[in-house]
């Protein structure tokens, strides 16, 4: 079985925590009981890891660095690195006691280059103290060959949480734009989490990922929204289709169809208020979150009787002028962008937002000075140039009748071989812009959903 086939089968791991050798001797810094939760998980599952720490002067807040790495080794093969993790500095800063237990935020098991099933896996935790000393712990696990298939649901009337499968299709761009009913059938899923507190029907936000699939960015937004009493449904458009990331085989229209299907399904949940479901996504997910507001798309593909209460796109690429593009929902649209974004520049989005405001729509755009693409992804380093990515910043396309999309200048059909596409763009985390965006989103959601009233 190839590794790609193993991914499609959703490989499985059972993890057992092991303490550091010697344990926490008096006065000696040590970690114990390092483990992953849940102990058994599959590809694209969300997981946490935890460990106990002892005798850390100043607690984890003063630790210089923390790293979690995973490798595997089959008999006769060399060990191969397959996963590297690091907790957020904000997570560490909460732990100021000399001893305690650390539980990470959500992580998604989407490692690249991992093995096929039936191999031993070792997880290694390394904490670097302020004085340069290293404290380590290990956990071991093993991949099994398969995991149960995700069963699609037609309704959530029973009130389930966790992983929820549902049916969708993968229309071509032309099929989506013309409203044709077709496309390859697919079963995808989302992860539904309800906040720990709150009674009655809850507001919710559907989170849709960018080109690299579900990851720390979506998990962080889920945690932030839970803090204000909002449920989240993280939709994974790639894994159920056997894709590691978003490619040309998964057009934006197909992902818009996915979030419409997710909206219709989530509206049947007895704990969710169907009139208070918003949509938030970044990059390709930002494109989805912006253009899902088009009235024409909603009429052709959206669920009957329910509409998103708000649209929250982050750094979308506003590079297609759709037919009837000014006819969008009357619900609020809030666009968040990086002023320094050279991958999906803010300029075309600013122009589009102004067109929508002139049409009487409730649209606001916030651009953060100095922030680049993916400024809200805490797993990324500070802004770095990525020479290998495709950059559409010089492109602009228009939709013509019949579902055709062409270059506005050359009138040639949309194609990634178009000379307007270039190579290389900048992306990276900006803690300051992220904090301001979190505050803005929370304030907006609190006001729009009338939380606390």
Write out pLDDT tens, residues 222-234.
Answer: 999 999 999 999 9
**Cβ neighbours of residue 2 closer than 8 Å, sequence gap 6 or more:** 116
- Two tokens at 419? 């000379």
More confident: 253 or 69: 253
Q: What is the pTM assigned to this prediction?
A: 0.86
- Two tokens at 96? 């100021």
Half-sphere exposure of 118 (CA within 13 A, CB side): 7
pLDDT for res 391: 96
In the chain, DSSP finds a helix count (H) and a strand count (E) of: 9, 23
CATH architecture of the domain with range 3-144: Sandwich (2.60)
Q: pLDDT class for 112, splitting at 50, 70, 90?
A: low
pLDDT digits (tens, 9 = 90+) for 180-211: 988 999 999 999 999 987 778 999 999 999 99
- What is the C-alpha separation between 213 and 132, in angstroms, rounded? 35
- What is the C-alpha separation between 142 and 272, in angstroms, rounded? 38
CA-closest candidate to residue 164, choices 254, 236, 90: 236
Q: pLDDT class for 3, splitting at 50, 70, 90?
A: very low
Quick one: average pLDDT of 106-116? Answer: 62
In this model, does residue 4 exceed pLDDT 90? no
In this model, does residue 111 exceed pLDDT 70? no
DSSP output for 275-318 = EEEEEEEETHHHHHHHHTTBHHHHHHHSPTT---SEEEEES---
Question: Where are the domain boundaries for CATH 3.40.50.1820 in the chain?
Answer: 162-448
Q: pLDDT class for 77, splitting at 50, 70, 90?
A: low
Quick one: average pLDDT of 24-46? Answer: 77
pLDDT for res 7: 31
pLDDT digits (tens, 9 = 90+) for 242-287: 888 887 779 999 999 999 999 999 999 999 999 999 999 999 999 9
pLDDT for res 83: 60
| CB-neighbour burial class of residue 204 (10 A; exposed 0-12, middle 13-18, buried 19+) | buried
In this model, does residue 14 exceed pLDDT 60? no
Give the bridge partners for 127, in sequence order.
66, 135
Question: Where are the domain boundaries for CATH 2.60.40 in the chain?
Answer: 3-144
What is the percent of the chain where pLDDT is above 70?
Answer: 86
**Coil, helix or strand for 352?**
helix
Quick one: average pLDDT of 48-70? Answer: 90
In this model, does residue 403 exceed pLDDT 60? yes
- Considering the chain, what is the average pLDDT of its residues? 87
pLDDT for res 73: 60
pLDDT digits (tens, 9 = 90+) for 284-342: 999 999 999 999 999 999 999 999 999 999 999 999 999 999 999 999 999 999 999 99
In this model, does residue 10 exceed pLDDT 60? no
pLDDT for res 26: 53
Q: pLDDT class for 8, splitting at 50, 70, 90?
A: very low
Distances (CA, A) of 58 to 51, 95, 210, 309, 445: 17, 8, 38, 45, 36
Quick one: average pLDDT of 400-424? Answer: 94
Quick one: average pLDDT of 149-159? Answer: 95
| CB-neighbour burial class of residue 26 (10 A; exposed 0-12, middle 13-18, buried 19+) | exposed
pLDDT for res 46: 76
Please check whether the domain covering 162-448 is classified as CATH 3.40.47.10: no
- Two tokens at 130? 């302020």
In this model, does residue 110 exceed pLDDT 70? no
pLDDT for res 245: 81
pLDDT digits (tens, 9 = 90+) for 39-48: 777 777 777 8
DSSP output for 109-164 = ---SSPPPSS-EEEEEEEEE-TTS-EEEEEEEEEEES--PPPPB-S--TT---EEE
Start-to-end CA span in the chain (Å): 55
CA-closest candidate to residue 295, choices 326, 328, 256: 328
pLDDT for res 20: 40
Helix (H) or strand (E) holding 111: none
pLDDT for res 115: 53
- What is the C-alpha separation between 324 and 326, in angstroms, rounded? 6
Distances (CA, A) of 16 to 40, 126, 138, 432: 10, 17, 9, 37
Distances (CA, A) of 80 to 146, 163, 290, 332, 438: 21, 30, 40, 48, 37
**Coil, helix or strand for 376?**
coil
Quick one: average pLDDT of 2-20? Answer: 36
Distances (CA, A) of 358 to 111, 319, 353, 362, 396: 45, 19, 9, 10, 21
- Two tokens at 368? 């953060």
Cis peptide before 23 (omega within 30 of 0): no
pLDDT for res 332: 98
Q: pLDDT class for 169, splitting at 50, 70, 90?
A: very high
């Amino acid at each position: 079985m190839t590794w790609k086939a193993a991914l499609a089968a959703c490989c499985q791991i059972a993890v057992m925590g092991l303490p550091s050798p010697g344990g926490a001797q008096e006065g000696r810094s040590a970690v114990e009981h390092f483990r992953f939760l849940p102990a058994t998980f599959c590809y694209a599952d969300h997981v946490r890891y935890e460990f106990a720490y002892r005798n850390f002067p100043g607690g984890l807040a003063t630790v210089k660095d923390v790293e979690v790495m995973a490798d595997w080794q089959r008999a006769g093969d060399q060990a191969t690195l397959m996963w590297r993790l690091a907790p957020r500095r904000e997570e560490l800063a909460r732990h100021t006691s000399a001893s305690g237990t650390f539980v990470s935020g959500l992580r998604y098991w989407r490692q690249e280059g991992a093995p096929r099933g039936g191999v031993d896996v070792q997880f290694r935790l390394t904490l670097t103290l302020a004085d340069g000393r290293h404290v380590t712990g290990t956990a071991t696990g093993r991949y099994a060959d398969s995991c149960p298939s995700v069963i699609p649901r037609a309704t959530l009337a029973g009130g389930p949480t966790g992983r929820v499968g549902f049916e969708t299709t993968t229309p071509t761009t032309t099929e989506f734009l013309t409203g044709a009913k077709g496309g390859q059938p697919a079963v995808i899923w989302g992860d539904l989490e309800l906040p720990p507190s709150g009674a009655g029907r809850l507001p919710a936000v559907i989170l849709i990922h960018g080109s690299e699939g579900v990851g720390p960015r979506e998990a962080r937004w889920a945690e932030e929204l839970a803090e204000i009493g909002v449920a989240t449904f993280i939709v994974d458009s790639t894994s159920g289709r056997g894709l590691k990331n978003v490619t040309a085989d998964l057009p934006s229209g197909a992902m818009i169809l996915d979030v419409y299907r997710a909206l219709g399904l989530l509206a049947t949940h007895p704990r969710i208020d169907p009139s208070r479901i918003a949509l938030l996504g970044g990059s390709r997910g930002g494109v989805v979150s912006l253009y899902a507001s088009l009235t024409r798309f909603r009429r052709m593909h959206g669920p009957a009787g329910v509409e998103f209460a708000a649209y929250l796109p982050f750094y979308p690429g506003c590079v297609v002028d759709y037919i009837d593009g000014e006819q969008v929902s009357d619900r609020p649209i809030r666009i968040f962008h990086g002023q320094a974004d050279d991958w999906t520049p803010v300029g075309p989005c600013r122009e589009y937002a102004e067109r929508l405001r002139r049409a009487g729509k409730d649209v606001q755009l916030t651009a953060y000075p100095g922030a680049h693409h993916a400024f809200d992804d805490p797993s990324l380093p500070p802004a770095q140039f990525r020479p290998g990515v495709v950059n559409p910043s010089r492109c602009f396309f228009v939709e013509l009748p019949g579902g055709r999309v062409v270059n506005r200048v050359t009138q040639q059909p949309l194609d990634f071989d178009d000379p307007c596409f270039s190579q290389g763009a900048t992306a990276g985390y900006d803690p300051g812009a992220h904090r301001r965006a979190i505050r803005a989103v929370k304030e907006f959601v609190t006001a729009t959903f009338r939380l606390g009233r």
